[in-house]
Amino acid sequence: MSSRPVLFVTRELPALAQRRLEALTEVEVRQHRQITAIGRSDLLQAVASADGLLCMLSDKIDNELLQAANPLLKVISTCSVGYDHVDTDLVKQRGLKLGYTPNVLTDATADTTVLLALMASRRAKEALDIVHSGRGGGFSLSTGLGTQFTDKTLGIVGFGRIGCATAHRLAPFGFSQVLYTASQPHPDRASPLHAQHVTLDHLLTHSDLVCICCPLNPQTANMFNNQAFALMKPSAILVNTARGAIVNQDDLLHALESGRIAAAGLDVTVPEPLPAEHPLVRHPRCVVLPHIGSATEETRNAMANLAVDNALAGIFGRPLKAEVQL
C-alpha cells in the first residue's frame, strides 16, 4: 500500500493538465476519470481517504462531505474562480486551506460575455434557426432586425477583473456611456473607460445592455427578479456569465414574454445545463450556452494546472498560489 499522500480529483482534466496529473510522483492520484460529475456517494467515499481534494463547481463542499472526510484532509482546491459551492465557514472551522483559480479565466469569460451580447442584440438565434430549418425567404430589408450598440449605454454589474475586461471589450462597439456597480468605486479601473459608479437602480434604468459579472453571494442571489426587470428599458438586453442563481429564471421568462426586456444571453443557469424543453431554451430571444465562459484550451488548462498547484501546496504545507482568505 502506498505511503504517499492521496490527492483525489473529481473530474477528468483538460489534456495537458491531465498528462501532468498522471505524471505526479509525490502523491498518489485517485480520480473520477469522467467528463461528467462524480456521484455524491462516490465522492463521500473517496474523500474519506484523501489528504487533498481537487473539486469542481458541481461538487458541493458542505457539512456532510466534511464529516465524511479524512481527518488528515489538508486542502480543498476548487478548479474555479467562484467558490459559492463551498461552505467556507465550515472549511475554516476544520482548519483547511481553500484554493481557487482567479485571474486565469478573465479573458475567456469576458470574450463569452461579448459573444452573448452580440448574439442577443443581432437576433442570431433566430437567424440560425432560419438557416437550420430552411425557412429563409432570402434577403429582407425589414425582417429579423436586431440592434447595434452605437451611442448606447453599457451597464456592468460587478466591476472586478471580469467586469472590467468585459467593459474594455465592449466599449469599442460605440457605447457613449459606461456605468458600473460595485461595493465601492474603482477610479483606477474606471478612468480609461470614463465609467461611472452608480447604484443598481440607476444602472438598470439607464442601460441598454446589462452584463452580470458579479460573484454569487447572499446579496446578489436572486438580484435580477421582477422588481429589477421592471426598472429596465423594454429595449434592454441582459447577459449573465456570472452565476445562474443571480437571475430568477421564472421572472426572466416573464420579462421576455411580456416585452419587459428585449433579449437575454445566458452562459450560466440553474440547473446546468437547462433541460432542452425549458422555456428559456426554447425562447427565440434567449440565447443559452452550457457554461462555456472559460472553455478555451488555454484557460481550462491554466485553471486545472493552478488547481493542481494549490492542491499540492496544501498537502505539503506550502503556501498556495491562490488561496481564499477565510
Q: Give CA–CA dist 52/35, Å, rounded.
A: 20
- Please list the pLDDT of the chain residue by residue as tens digits (326 residues): 568 999 999 999 999 999 999 999 999 999 999 999 999 999 999 999 999 999 999 999 999 999 999 999 999 999 999 999 999 999 999 999 999 999 999 999 999 999 999 999 999 999 999 999 988 777 889 989 999 999 999 999 999 999 999 999 999 999 999 999 999 999 999 999 999 999 999 999 999 999 999 999 999 999 999 999 999 999 999 999 999 999 999 999 999 999 999 999 999 999 999 999 999 999 999 999 999 999 999 999 999 999 999 999 999 999 999 999 99
| Cβ count within 10 A of residue 134 | 6
pTM: 0.90
Beta strand ranges found along the chain (DSSP E): 6-9, 28-31, 52-55, 75-78, 97-99, 153-157, 177-181, 196-197, 209-212, 237-240, 263-266, 286-288
Q: Are strands 263-266 and 286-288 parallel, antiparallel or unpaired?
A: parallel
Indicate the helix (H) or strand (E) that contains 225.
none
Residue type, 65: L
Spatial contact of 207 and 235, defined as CB atoms under 8 Å apart: no
Active site residues: 291
Q: Output DSSP code: residue 237.
A: E
Contacts of 132 (CB under 8 A, 6+ apart): none
DSSP-based three-state secondary structure for 42: helix
Give the helix, strand, coil percentages of the chain, each rounded to 5: 40, 15, 45
